[in-house]
Amino acid sequence: MQRRLQFIILGHVWVLVPVALAWLARPAWRGQSAPEDAGALLPLAIIAAAYLLVRTWLTVVRWMPRPVAIYPYVDVGLVTAGLISLRNPTDPLSILYFIPLASAVASMSVNHLVAVGSVTVAAYLAAIIVSGVPWTIGMVYRIVMLALMSSLYWLIIRVVTTYVRSAERGEYRAELSREIHDGVQHLLVTLGTRLELARHLVREAPGRAEQILAEERETARRASDEMRYLVRRLRAAVQHSDFAAALRTQIAAIADRWPFALDVDVPPTLPRLSPKAEHAVLRVIQESLTNVAKHAQASRVAITISTQDGQLRCAIADNGTGFDPASANGAGLTGLRERVQSANGTLEVSSEPGRGAMVVATFPVPKPTFLLWRKFES
């Protein structure tokens, strides 16, 4: 979300670039704010242009989250230096103080916004004092406006973040409830029913009762695996803020229990999907590995996650016995396909007897604007 908000801020700043060029090229348009030596602003303009290019490169080409916290302070410094160069704190340039305030809002951190707001007010006071001009009502008005806007943004962040977190917790609880109901609870109900049947058959048909008990050991193991999966998912949600790290954690937690070698190719970073789509990716991997272990007799399985053309692709390939996809209409594969489709994804299964199998799930990567508004409307 940080990167998307930075894109929005950068877009608005770049829109201001032609206006700034005209403002510099025509000092007379500024009226009384024009300095005696218009060239005094040129070095500052060059520094500002270089800073904007570097900031754009860091955001678009090589995303680096850490400098984001520094940007508002650099913005404040550039605007303050411009006002001091003009020797006119009431120049329209002072309006640009709202850019660092907006950057601080993008951090979604109350403490950061308070710090940037305080620095902005202090910097404007310093520009007034250093410029050595008499105080005016306009200057006081600008100080009051900066303080009020900082307070307004602070309250907005508090309300929005509280609302978003509450909505996310509600969505997560509902999803977890569905997982327990459709997964663990269903397996336990099946296990209880089958054990009750075995109890009735233990005297009349002990052989059949023993067969049922042997089969239900697998049901008990699946229920245990399901509980471990849900616990790992909860821990990953707390420990990791990015999808790639959570995905690697989940795969690593189950890698040692399979009877085949597991090759995993996950990029260092992955774009965020919707919560339902991210959960579907994990389920595709989990169910595919379970099916391979139960039916494929494979010695090696490869998991490959990649992104291309606005799509996230999750492929699980094995070198097992293979099967005829046309005849594979089991409830597990059908349920998995429905889960993927409900997350706006597609699931493809390709296989031939004796030549292994490949399961490919593809999900669209939401556009930045969609994800941003989804956060505030969910």
What per-residue confidence (pLDDT) applies to 296?
84
Q: Where are the domains of the chain?
A: 2-134, 242-378
Separation of alpha carbons 275 and 283, rounded Å = 12
pLDDT computed for residue 371 by the predictor: 42
The domain defined by 242-378 carries CATH number 3.40.640.10: no
Q: Are 55 and 71 in contact (CB under 8 A)?
A: yes
Token pair recorded at residue 131: 């410029």
Beta bridge partners of 317: 302, 358
For residues 106 and 5, the answer to whether their CB atoms sit within 8 Å is yes
Helix (H) or strand (E) holding 313: strand 311-318
Pairwise CA distance, residues 327 & 96, whole Å: 65
Of 291, 279, 337, nearest to 318 by C-alpha is 291
What is the per-residue pLDDT across 71-99, written as a single tens digit (0 to 9) for each?
889 889 988 988 888 788 887 788 888 88
Do residues 106 and 70 make contact, with C-beta atoms less than 8 angstroms apart? no
Give the CA dihedral 122, 124, 128, 131, nearest 10 degrees. 110
Residue given tokens 């604007």 in the structure block: 369
Give the pLDDT of residue 171: 66
Strand partners, 301: 262, 318
Tell me the CA end-to-end span of the chain in Å, nearest whole number. Answer: 14
Taking a C-beta distance cutoff of 8 angstroms, is the pair 10, 102 a contact?
A: no
CB 303 within 8 A of CB 261: no
Q: Which residues of the chain fall short of a pLDDT of 50?
A: 36, 238-240, 369-378
